[in-house]
């Protein structure tokens, strides 16, 4: 039984796709243009079913690695290849014409084992940790100190997941703030925090974020 989908890939927090790709200058524009053509892929059976369901007769052959090169060299007319960002396809002068399927990582449990209270709890704990690790990707923590008179200005700049953690310092009228933000926001945010009175700013990586 499937407990959850864990949506991520090597470079992004997005599903990967198996796509049909042809040379950028190919006359093939639509799926029906592939009728009678040769297609290379590692996903042989699924690709055959995909075209069979659409009643398009194609020749599908197995390809082990370097699939993109086979189109460039003229060995096949198209490929079905796994892609995350599309960079590899573009680097090989290829373009997508259709998506065969979308793939995500799934957390699967044995139904019998899941009925066992101890095993079920262990599975749910593991799933919680996995989701926490995914949530932490592309996020960082920020710690900073600020004088009370500048606190409101600093708080207005912080895009917190909820609200920043605020605590008093031993130094009179000084406040410590801690917040979790998207890593991509740090470059522009740090100078603004400094300009608005923040001091002792520390950026640190996160292993897990659990809501």
Q: Average pLDDT of 122-151?
A: 91
Q: Which pLDDT score is estimated for 105? A: 83
Query: 189, 139, 194: which is closest to 161 by C-alpha?
Result: 139
Task: Write down the pTM of the prediction.
Answer: 0.61
Q: Does domain 139-205 have CATH number 2.120.10.30?
A: no
Residues of the chain with CATH 3.30.70.120: 139-205
Residue 13 has pLDDT above 80, yes or no: no
Report the top-level CATH class of 2-105: alpha beta
Residues of the chain with CATH 3.40.190.10: 2-105
Q: Which pLDDT score is estimated for 59? A: 96
DSSP the chain: -EEEEE---SSSSS-EEEEEEEETT-S--SGGGGTT-EEEES-HHHHHHHHHHTT---EEEE--S-HHHHHHTTS-SEEEEEESSSHHHHHTTEEEEEEEEEE-EEEE--HHHHTSHHHHHHHHHHHHHHHHHHHHTTEEEEEEEEEGGGHHHHHHH---SS--EEEE-SSTTEEEEEEEEEGGGHHHHHHHHHHTT-EEEEEEE-S----
Residue 146 has pLDDT above 60, yes or no: yes
Residue 118 has pLDDT above 80, yes or no: yes
The CA-CA-CA angle for residues 15, 19, 25, to 5°, reads 135
Residue 163 has pLDDT above 80, yes or no: no
Encode pLDDT of 30-81 as tens digits. 999 999 999 999 999 999 999 999 999 999 999 987 788 888 888 899 999 9
Residue 97 has pLDDT above 60, yes or no: yes
């Amino acid at each position: 039984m499937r407990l959850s989908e864990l949506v991520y890939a090597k470079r992004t927090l997005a599903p990967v796709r198996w796509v049909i790709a042809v040379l950028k200058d190919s006359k093939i524009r639509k799926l029906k243009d592939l009728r009678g053509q040769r297609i290379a892929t590692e996903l042989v059976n699924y690709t055959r079913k995909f075209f069979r369901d659409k009643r398009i007769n194609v020749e599908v052959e197995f390809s082990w690695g370097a699939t993109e090169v086979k189109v460039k060299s003229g060995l096949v007319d198209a490929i079905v290849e796994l892609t995350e960002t599309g960079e590899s396809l573009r680097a090989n002068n290829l373009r997508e014409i259709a998506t065969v399927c979308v793939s995500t990582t799934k957390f699967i449990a044995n139904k019998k084992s899941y009925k066992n209270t101890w095993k079920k709890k262990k599975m749910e704990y593991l799933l919680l940790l996995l989701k926490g690790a995914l949530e932490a990707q592309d996020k960082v923590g920020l710690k900073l100190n600020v004088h009370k008179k500048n606190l409101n200005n600093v708080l207005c700049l912080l895009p917190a997941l909820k609200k920043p953690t605020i605590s008093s310092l031993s130094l009179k009228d000084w406040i410590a703030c801690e917040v979790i933000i998207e890593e991509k926001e740090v470059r522009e945010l740090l100078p603004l925090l400094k300009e608005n009175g923040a001091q002792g700013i520390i950026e640190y990586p996160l292993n897990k974020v659990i809501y």
